[in-house]
Amino acid sequence: MARLKNYKIATIGSHSALQILKGAQQEGFKSIAICIKGREKPYKLFNVADEIIVIEKYPDLINLQDTLIKKNAILVPHASLMEYIGFENIEKFKVPYYGNKKILRFESDRNIEREWLKAAGLKLPKIFKNPKDIDRSVIVKFHGAKGGKGYFLAKNEKDFKQKIKAHKEEEKYVIQEYIVGVPMFIHYFYSPLTDELEIMGFDKRYESNVDSLGRISARDQMALAKVEPSYVIVGNIPVVVRESFLPRIIDMGEKVIKQSRKITPGGLWGPFCLETIMTPDEEIFTFEISARIVAGTNPYIEGSPYTWLKYNEPMSTGRRIAREIKMAIKQNKLNKVLG
């Protein structure tokens, strides 16, 4: 254990930092929260950070690296790191980094990501390159940081052309088949130390305003001035999946891992998430992958039903990451989990 004490686990104070920092402490590490000025409060309030480093703006993290290296910190990534620092900068990081940095570029571009998932044999919603070809309901998604705002549904080319007019400033978008079903976000963890794929849990997102449109009757929606659906995420709701889906779900995760090794050395390891829609015909369509911890694991700080089955103790994804790092240190295989 003495050697563990020398390592610290650091992450940006946002997204899933509470469980990452708490998990680090549970596994015997000191934890460091790197916070934007003014955002330290949750990490103080919940007492999950042994140290809080305050920075003015996210890019300052790049200059913080020498300090982190001196502190013997291992940086755990999450979506905020990806969003605010960008994968090109992360790829150049010198500070020890949990996960495979090289996989990030594959999830940051919708086209490359699609090729990966397709090659893994997953079922994906159809993409329409040309609006002329729209022959079913589609969802039009914009790239970039708008986070689900402005997405719209269209039923044909005419409808699309009419609705896209309101988005003249948007250059990059994708026209995707709209899958009628329920969203299901699958949380996996793959350990290169045990060569095992684990199911950590499931969630569905709580999106504003689309998740409340059902509370307004169709008649009242028509009467209201303008209710456009948006998909801005405001929270996550835990879900348990019908047990008979599990064999397919495990199979999907394994195929994604196998294919990831073909696209980049070492492939994907650690936590990841397949974002799916499940249809009444029991089909599972994957519309995205997150190749790192997702905020959908946040309801499970005490563990999910699935981690309880496996571990018999509270096991959040954050704690699972810390445990993996701990196992790697003990086995002298840190190079297998840092990338």
Positions in the binding site for ligand AMP (CB under 6 A) = 125, 139, 141, 148, 176-179, 183, 205, 207, 231, 275, 277, 287-288
Q: Which is nearer to ligand AMP, 49 or 139 (CB)?
A: 139
Q: Which pair of structure tokens corresponds to residue 181? A: 């079903």
Chain mean position to CA 113:
13
Q: What is the pairing mode between strands 73-75 and 8-12?
A: parallel
Q: Which is nearer to ligand AMP, 69 or 234 (CB)?
A: 234
Other beta carbons less than 10 A from residue 300's beta carbon: 26
Shortest distance (Å) from residue 277 CB to ligand AMP? 5
Shortest distance (Å) from residue 279 CB to ligand AMP? 10
Residue 209 preceded by cis peptide, ω within 30: yes
Q: Which is nearer to ligand AMP, 7 or 231 (CB)?
A: 231
Q: Which is nearer to ligand AMP, 148 or 266 (CB)?
A: 148
Q: Please report which residue ranges of 170-315 form alpha helices under DSSP H.
A: 218-223, 246-263, 305-311
- Cα(17)–Cα(32) distance, integer angstroms: 10
Q: Which is nearer to ligand AMP, 32 or 104 (CB)?
A: 104
Shortest distance (Å) from residue 288 CB to ligand AMP? 5
SS3 243: helix
Q: Which is nearer to ligand AMP, 106 or 231 (CB)?
A: 231
Shortest distance (Å) from residue 179 CB to ligand AMP? 4
Shortest distance (Å) from residue 253 CB to ligand AMP? 19
Chain mean position to CA 263:
20
Shortest distance (Å) from residue 220 CB to ligand AMP? 22
SS3 201: strand
Q: Which is nearer to ligand AMP, 79 or 334 (CB)?
A: 79
Shortest distance (Å) from residue 297 CB to ligand AMP? 16
Q: Please report which residue ranges of the chain form alpha helices under DSSP H.
A: 2-6, 17-26, 41-45, 60-63, 65-70, 79-85, 87-91, 104-107, 110-119, 157-164, 218-223, 246-263, 305-311, 317-330, 334-337
Cβ atoms of 179 and 279 within 8 Å: the answer is: yes
